[in-house]
Structure 1
Amino acid sequence: MRPDTTPRGSDADTGGAVRRTRRRGEEVERAVLRAAVDELTERGYDGFTMDRVAARAGTNKTAIYRRWSSRSSLALAAYREMVARPDDPPDTGDLRSDVIELLRSVADRLASPSGAEVLRGLMMDARRDPELMAALRDDFVRSEPGTMLILLARAVARGEARPEALVPRVATVPVALLRDELTMRGPGGISDETIAEIVDLVFLPLVRPVPR
């Protein structure tokens, strides 16, 4: 019988197994997120439990806690999946139309009954959880900045916006105001008139070139 000359630690010995384990881990993570989204959609934030998510995903709570430290952190990850932004930013050739189209898309996602209820639940829990509060604040600060910066850059090139406005702090203003409206008014509170006011009374005056 020939001796095994395969070096220990080689791909043939361990690498394939490591890669398979990694793939299984990614598959478990995707399954958990899908299950969490389904649970939040069907049962709401109050009925959301790690036990139900684990059973639905076909895994155990230990595997979930290795990735998410708490019920609220998993709910936040699932919420991000629920309101994920579209890949292609609007491109109508007009800044006002672009921003209104983007805000309408964001509003439709945020104002869904399940999404709004989850956001309110997360905000309530965040009052007692500094880490969750920090994560939510980070989400709000970073809301749609990449897309808005693309829209602003196009507007600057067309002469519709000042170059100085091309910064994340300015770009996040419209979506931040939209979230405030959702928090105060609930899922049915974001009308086309509300979006137009955010754009016309706040955002456009903030970014337009100053008349000479």
Structure 2
Amino acid sequence: MTGEAKARRRGAALEAAILDAAWDELDASGYAGLTIENVAARARTGKQVIYRRWQNRADLALAAMRHRYTSIADDVPDTGSLRGDVLAVLRHMARRFREFGSDLVHGLMAEAHELDPETFEVIPDAMAIILGRAAERGEVSAEAVTPRIARMPADLVRHEMLLTDRPVPDGVLVEIVDEMFLPLVRARGRDQREKRAATGASR
């Protein structure tokens, strides 16, 4: 590559070239074989150029994934019901697992401690929007759903992915929503209403 061509690759163009190279390297070598050195060679740039943007290979791999695929945060489902919205989020997760493959998913999970904690806020942020809409429709009591409960469906899907090392069947997603998440949310909503009613009656 000539000096003139290198000079043209700056900013967004250089970043896109690196992310494309990282994805190609993942496709060729898998996550276990991914190295900053190989990505730099494939992108025809220096390692330090990559390290200035991404701290480690987990950070780079995640950025390459986001560069290639749209995020659930960019298009939060709005099916008109809490059940439909949560199922749509879980189906998005399951579809991404199939697209990325277990090698990449397991590799990133094993090195999750090296990623920015905000990395794992995408699904909770989407769930917050979904639960806000559900509260406006009167489907759920907003104060009844704690952050841990909101995370539960996605956490169960991740557990299933890691435990079975294969795509999560749609029936399992439906079971998580219909037999675990929704009953818990509804029960807590009833508890909240009963507590308010008892408080009002005692006054």
1:35-63 deviation line (CA, Å, top 9, x unaligned): 21222133211221223211322312121
Residues 78 and 85 in structure 2, CA contact (< 8 A), matched pair in contact too: yes
Q: Compare 71-80 and 89-98 and name the one that shifted more.
A: 71-80
Q: TM-score, normalised by structure 2?
A: 0.76
Provide the C-alpha distance between the structure 2 equivalents of 1:63 and 1:210, rounded to a whole number of angstroms. Answer: 55
Provide the C-alpha distance between the structure 2 equivalents of 1:89 and 1:70, rounded to a whole number of angstroms. Answer: 29
Once the two structures are superposed, the pairs formed by residues 138-157 of structure 1 within 5 Å of their partners are: 138-140=118-120, 142-157=121-136
1:160-209 deviation line (CA, Å, top 9, x unaligned): 11121455433222112111111111133x01111011111221123223
Once the two structures are superposed, the pairs formed by residues 1-212 of structure 1 within 5 Å of their partners are: 24-81=10-67, 84-86=70-72, 87-112=74-99, 114-124=100-110, 126=111, 132-133=112-113, 135=115, 138-140=118-120, 142-165=121-144, 168-188=147-167, 190-208=168-186, 209-210=189-190
- Which runs of 5 or more structure 2 residues have no equivalent in the other structure? 1-6, 195-203
Q: Compare 195-204 and 54-63 and name the one that shifted more.
A: 54-63
Provide the C-alpha distance between the structure 1 equivalents of 2:77 and 2:26, rounded to a whole number of angstroms. Answer: 29
Amino acid in structure 1 at the alignment position of 2:84: S
Q: CA deviation at 1:157?
A: 1.3
Residues 85 and 106 in structure 1, CA contact (< 8 A), matched pair in contact too: no
- Which runs of 5 or more structure 1 residues have no equivalent in the other structure? 1-20, 127-131
1:142-165 deviation line (CA, Å, top 9, x unaligned): 141222112111111121111214
Higher helix share: 2
* 3-state secondary structure, aligned to 1:69: coil
Q: TM-score, normalised by structure 1?
A: 0.73
* 3-state secondary structure, aligned to 2:140: coil
Amino acid in structure 1 at the alignment position of 2:91: R
Alpha carbon RMSD of aligned pairs, Å? Answer: 2.6
